[in-house]
Structure 1
Amino acid sequence: MAPQENEQDQTTPAIELINVSRRFLSPTGKSLTALRDFTMSVRRGEFVAVVGPTGCGKSTTLNLITGLATPSAGEVRVMGAPVKGIDPRIGFVFQTDALFPWRTVIDNVMAGPLFRGKPRPQAQAAARDWLARVGLARFEHHYPHQLSGGMRKRVALAQTFINGPEIFLMDEPFSALDVQTRVLMHEELLRLWSDAKASVVFVTHDLEEAIALADKVYVLTAGPATVKSVYTIDLPRPRIVADIRYQQSFIDYSRTIWADLKEEVETSYARAAA
């Protein structure tokens, strides 16, 4: 019986949003709808990217998965169970650095394990291991302000991966980086994700970034957001992001998905200008 149950667990999606709507009140008291009849499924170990116009509700989607927000209608499930508050199996990487500026790099990375009750020597050893994995072993006693943007993002990745989450939610984590550093961070993220075998939902405005990283790309409509289309990215792994952009299949994906996304971007701009 146990093997059958385990097999069933593995076929259950890591994340499900089923006909979800999310409404909230604006500061003026007007009811606004961020998501409407939104359905998305993420398999175990799958890397999903979400793209859409500015302000269409992409970050709201992540908040619903974490339990920071609740749906007005529909259901959100994580590992087969309804979301009821913050789930320790979920790790979140933000657009802005979520590092403690008064703590050293190693103290930032070991904060999670300490909070979860791990003894300090074990937490410190794990933090050193993760800093080595992201190439920052020599910087453990530095403070965040002494690091470059790319190095701080590596600290943020180590800070998240050290907790062993089964799901990673990433909200435009590399948008502030220069192009060269961003490509390096893509390679770093794919390597760490491949080792962790976790599920990822990656929100981005950069369509090429989405295609280079993801197994599947969700295109959202202009707000209130719903799923307009879903594209399976059939590019071989492991991927070398610096090279894959020049492949004809990558260019074809970019052209096709952009034609779909462009309509929503134009609709969003037209509404903003009205």
Structure 2
Amino acid sequence: MSVISLRNATKRFPGTGGEPHTAVRDLTFTVDAGEFVAVVGPTGCGKSTTLSLVSGLEPASSGEVDVNGEPVRGIPDGVGYMFQSDAVLPWRSVLDNVAAGPRFRGLGKQQAREKAMVWVERVGLAAFAKYYPHQLSGGMRKRVALAQTLVNEPKIMLMDEPFSALDVQTRALMQDELLRLWAGTGAAVIFVTHDLEEAIALADRVVVMTSSPATVKAIFDVPLPRPRDVEEIRLTPEFVAAYREIWDTLREEVARARAEAMGRAS
């Protein structure tokens, strides 16, 4: 049984002039335990809305969204969400930021800090445990955010362009770090990105969405072995072939979205 299942899921929001705005329509795909699925599509097509449906932050207007075989009626247990912006608290140290999740789930202060320290060490920030967010680089803050997500041992990880603000070198390092820390957890991942190279380097499957209102246009298996080094894997013929195949499908939707945007502007 799939951990995540969307069947003809549609989300409509109130629009201007009384007409509803359809963000996504008839979304259908699944994610199994231990599977990494990347979602790509044109800007503004509804990729983030897909995560909102799975997380329970937004209810579907129609269709079905199931997590662990149960309809999503609120935020499901075992879901970790990593946003594009860091969800770190500026008045807390690295250690206490990571310990916040376990504390919220009922662990005592000492137990929570001990558990948090394990993940602070795993993301390579042991020497910075007492630092505050303003003392950290962008990449280090992302490591804190990753530790915040993983310390709660989620069965589902929802990631909304978490590395998009990083420079190219730091982004590659964080991609490798994510794969290293995720390996062996058994967590199902939905990773939203604008970057097709990032999607292929990380994922087992890539879901291509259409221009707004988004639906699933195609799903591609990524024929690359694990474990992966994201920089080395990009140089392989298999990666290049996968990129060309998926880009041929995605390019049509990017062009359509651009034409629609230009039409609205004029």
Tell me which interval the TM-score lies in, with the shorter structure as reference length.
over 0.9
How far residue 195 of structure 1 moved from its aligned partner, in angstroms, is 2.9
Tell me the residue number matched to 1:212: 201
| Structure 1 position 119 matched with structure 2 position 108 | yes
The residue identity in structure 2 corresponding to 1:108 is N
SS in 1 for 2:228: coil
Instruction: Quote the residue 1:181 is aligned against.
Output: 170
Quote the Cα distance in structure 1 between the aligned partners of 2:28 and 2:87: 29
**Which one of the candidate residues 126, 140, 160 is aligned to 2:129?**
140
The question of 1:54 aligning with 2:43 is answered: yes
Query: Percent of aligned pairs with the same residue?
Result: 59
Distance 2:168 2:25 in 1: 34
Aligned partners of 1:60 and 1:29: how far apart in 2?
A: 21
Amino acid in the other structure paired with 2:212: G
Tell me which residue corresponds to 2:33.
44
Q: Which runs of 5+ in 2 are unaligned?
A: none
Q: How does 1:28-107 map to 2 (within 5 A)?
A: 28-107=17-96
1:250 aligns with 2:221: no
The 10-residue stretch of structure 1 (22-31 or 110-119) with the greater mean CA deviation from structure 2? 22-31
1:106-165 alpha-carbon deviations (Å, 9 max, x no partner): 110000000000011111111111110000001011110110000000000001100011
Deviations 1:180-225 (A, max 9, x none): 0011001110011103120000000000000000000000000111
Instruction: Give the Cα–Cα distance (whole angstroms) in 2 for the partners of residues 114 and 38 of structure 1.
Output: 36
Question: Counterparts of 1:95 and 1:26 in 2: how far apart (Å)?
Answer: 25
Classify the secondary structure of the residue corresponding to 1:158. Answer: helix
Looking at structure 2, the residues matched to 28 and 136 of structure 1 have their Cα atoms a distance apart, in angstroms, of: 51
Q: Could you tell me how far apart the structure 2 residues matched to 1:77 and 1:191 are?
A: 28
Pick from 227, 252, 263: which aligns with 1:238?
Answer: 227
Q: Which amino acid aligns with 1:204?
A: T
- TM-score normalised over the length of structure 1: 0.95
Residue identity matched to 1:168: M
d(CA) in 1 for partners of 2:167 and 2:19? 39
How many residues were matched structurally?
263
Instruction: State the AA in 2 paired with 1:116.
Output: R
Once the two structures are TM-superposed, the CA of residue 30 in structure 1 deviates from its matched residue by: 2.6
Matched, 1:154 2:143: yes
Give the C-alpha shift of residue 27 in structure 1.
4.8
| Deviation for aligned residue 1:259 | 1.1
**What are the equivalent positions in structure 2 for 1:4-23 lying under 5 Å apart?**
12-23=1-12
Matched letter for residue 153 of structure 2: G
RMSD, aligned CA:
0.8
Q: Secondary structure at 1:254's aligned position in 2?
A: helix
| Separation of aligned partners in 1, 2:184 and 2:33 | 14
SS of 1:117's partner is: coil
Q: Counterparts of 2:239 and 2:151 in 1: how far apart (Å)? A: 32
Residue matched to 1:226: 215
* TM-score, L = length of structure 2: 0.97
Instruction: Give every structure 1 segment of 4 or more consecutive aligned residues whose post-TM-superposition deviation is greater than 4 Å.
Output: none
Q: For 2:80, what is the secondary structure of its paired residue?
A: strand
**1:172 correspondence with 2:161:** yes
Q: Residue 183 of structure 2: SS of its match in structure 1?
A: helix
